[in-house]
Amino acid sequence: MSSFTEDSSAAGPAESSGAPDEVLQSFFTEVKEIEKQDSKLTPKQQIDRLCRPGSTYANLNPFDVLQVTPETPLDEIKKQFRRLSILVHPDKNPDDDRAQKAFDAVAKAWKVLEIEEGYKKCMEIVEEAKGRTDQMIKEKKKKLRKEGKSGAVEEDDPEKYKHAVYVLTMKLFADLERKRREQETKNAHEKKRKHLEEEEAKEKEKDDKEWQKNFEASRTQRVDSWRTFQTKKTTGDTARPTKPLGYKPPKHKAEQREAKPS
């Protein structure tokens, strides 16, 4: 599977351009055009391979990164990791600023496979790709026979079958990563939402405490005001308006009438 590597001359649009979905689709198209090549590449060719357009998704398959098959024994995979890590190491390629990215891809691939759980998950993906490919071939043959044609398909060729499994394996790794990123984004949004809710709850609690504090502080004043009001009401002070100081109403003068002549 891993022998299907991409020639740097067949590079498509840069992965940094376009939307994520376009990059992913470009990668799938690119994978289908991958041809078998010699795995013994020069340091520059290895760096080109590991940093080619679409490598964000292509390098998700650790078997492909290390150029081994899933059937390769783990001790042999480890030896291959050491060979590649030396080949693309930044210290060995001081004039190529992509060397660090290539080295990181190799190190990450081995880190996944050296752990039993990681290796098991990768093998499950490979087995799923084989199962889906077998089902696809079965359906193609059934359709051909139904049309009265020969049941032969191109995947009957071992190399074509191997390539079909490889393409689907790469797609499954990419799909898994896409789902992981979507879940990560969803979790980040949920975390942010909860944080905002917690901040709002804290602010409300702070306001409530401040209101209660002010309410308690003004209790004595409110009680005194009420008592004063009640006292005035009992003594009738509230019924007698206070006269303005310095003001006296004018005295009433009796109306004088002139005497009528007799």
Element (H, E) at 239: none
Number of domains in the chain: 1
* Gap between the Cα atoms of 204 and 227, Å rounded: 34
Token reading at 129: 């790709």
Quick one: average pLDDT of 208-227? Answer: 76
How many residues would you count in the chain?
A: 262
* Gap between the Cα atoms of 39 and 54, Å rounded: 19
Higher pLDDT: 106 or 1? It is 106
Residue 251 within any structural domain of the chain:
no
Phi-psi region of 163 (alpha: psi -120 to 50; beta: other; left: phi over 0): alpha
Q: What is the mean pLDDT of the chain?
A: 79
* Least confident stretch, 66-75, 149-158, 227-236: 227-236
Residue 141 within any structural domain of the chain:
yes
CB 104 within 8 A of CB 84: no
> Domain residues for 131?
4-197
Element (H, E) at 4: strand 4-5
Whole-structure pTM value? 0.58
Give the pLDDT score at 207: 82
Residue 118 within any structural domain of the chain:
yes
pLDDT tens column, 4-56: 333 333 333 344 445 666 666 666 655 555 444 434 579 999 999 999 998 88
Which residue type sits at 121? Answer: K
Residue 32 within any structural domain of the chain:
yes
Is the Cα torsion angle 72, 31, 35, 65 positive or negative in sign? negative
Residue 248 within any structural domain of the chain:
no
Give the pLDDT score at 16: 42
pLDDT tens column, 103-154: 999 999 999 999 999 999 999 999 999 999 999 999 999 998 888 888 888 9
Using 50, 70 and 90 to split pLDDT, how confident is the model at 237?
Answer: low
* Least confident stretch, 69-83, 204-218, 232-246: 232-246
Residue 214 within any structural domain of the chain:
no
Which residue type sits at 199? Answer: E
Quick one: average pLDDT of 83-98? Answer: 95
**CATH number, position 66:** 1.10.287.110
Give the pLDDT score at 61: 95
Higher pLDDT: 244 or 163? It is 163
Is the Cα torsion angle 36, 22, 107, 84 positive or negative in sign? positive
Residue 61 within any structural domain of the chain:
yes
Could you tell me how far CA 10 lies from the centroid of its own chain?
Answer: 31
Residue 255 within any structural domain of the chain:
no
Higher pLDDT: 243 or 6? It is 243
